[in-house]
Amino acid sequence: MIAVPLVLADRQAPALPGLDLALAFLRRPDAAGLPDGRYEIDGERVFALVQRYETAAGEPRFEAHRRYADVQYLAAG
């Protein structure tokens, strides 16, 4: 897991194919206001799932994925 501010995330891009496209999506001026849903960035290779929910207190379990790198971005809260 890598936890960095969005402004520093480009440093990780060479290690993960498609990360540059995902970060460009997050930097869109309208990104925080997009409705919930799936947004294809580069077909099945890179896509975004916009979701809104209440964060939980405490130490939740981390997720792991075999097929995709999971970039999570907290826009507010």
Q: What is the pTM of this model?
A: 0.79
Contact 41, 23 (CB under 8 A): no
Total residues found in the chain within this entry: 77
Per DSSP, the three-state class of 66 is: coil
- Dump pLDDT digits (tens) for 28-76: 999 989 999 999 999 999 999 999 888 778 777 777 788 888 888 888 7
The total domain count for the chain is 1
Q: How far apart are CA 45 and CA 43, in angstroms?
A: 5
Which residues constitute the domain of residue 33?
Answer: 1-77
Alpha helix positions (H), 1-77: 19-26
Neighbours of 21 (CB within 10 A): 15
CB-CB neighbours of 7 under 10 Å: 8
